C-alpha cells in the first residue's frame, strides 16, 4: 500500500487531468506507442509525450524498448496500491453505513410492532 504522502500526491495529481485519465484507460486494454495514444486527442504528440512523462514520474506507466518502438505500459501494481489506499477509507465508511442501516431497520421494526399493538 502507498503510504508516502509525496507518492500519493504525484499519483493523484497525474490522474487529475482528463487527458492522462484517458491515456490510463487506453493502456488498460494493452500497451501502446505515443502515436497510438495521441490518435484520439486534438493535441500534439509532444503534448501527449509530456502527459506520459507525468504518468511515468507518478509511476503509473512504464516504457520499454522494442527495436524502434517504445511502447507505454500500465503499471498495475501502482494502481493496485492506489486502490488499496482508497479502499481503507471506503471500508470504514461502508461499516458505518451498515451500522446506521441496522439501527434504522431496528427502529422501523420497533415502530411497526407498536403500531400492531394499538
Q: What CATH number should be reported for the domain holding residue 43? A: 1.10.10.10
At which residue does the C-alpha cell 487506453 appear? Answer: 26
pLDDT at residue number 110: 74
The answer to whether 32 touches 71, Cβ cutoff 8 Å, is: yes
List, for residues 87-118, the tens digit of each pLDDT value.
988 777 777 788 787 888 888 777 766 666 66
Whether 67 has a pLDDT exceeding 90, the answer reads no
The full DSSP string for 13-31 is HHHTSHHHHHHHHHHTT--
The answer to whether 23 touches 37, Cβ cutoff 8 Å, is: yes
List, for residues 33-66, the tens digit of each pLDDT value.
999 999 999 999 999 999 999 999 999 999 998 8
Question: Can you tell me the distance from the alpha carbon of 96 to that of 98, in angstroms, rounded to the nearest whole number?
Answer: 5
Whole-prediction pTM value? 0.74
**Domain containing 56: what range?**
5-117
Q: Give how many domains the chain has, as a whole number.
A: 1
Amino acid at each position: 500500500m502507498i503510504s508516502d504522502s509525496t507518492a500519493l500526491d504525484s499519483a493523484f495529481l497525474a490522474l487529475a487531468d482528463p487527458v492522462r485519465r484517458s491515456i490510463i484507460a487506453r493502456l488498460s486494454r494493452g500497451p501502446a506507442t505515443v502515436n497510438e495514444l495521441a490518435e484520439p486527442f486534438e493535441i500534439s504528440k509532444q503534448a501527449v509525450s509530456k502527459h506520459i512523462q507525468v504518468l511515468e514520474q507518478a509511476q503509473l506507466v512504464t516504457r520499454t524498448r522494442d527495436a524502434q518502438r517504445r511502447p507505454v505500459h500500465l503499471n498495475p501494481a501502482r494502481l493496485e496500491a492506489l486502490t488499496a489506499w482508497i479502499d481503507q477509507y471506503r471500508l470504514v465508511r461502508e461499516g458505518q453505513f451498515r451500522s446506521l442501516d441496522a439501527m434504522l431497520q431496528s427502529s422501523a421494526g420497533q415502530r411497526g410492532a407498536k403500531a400492531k399493538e394499538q
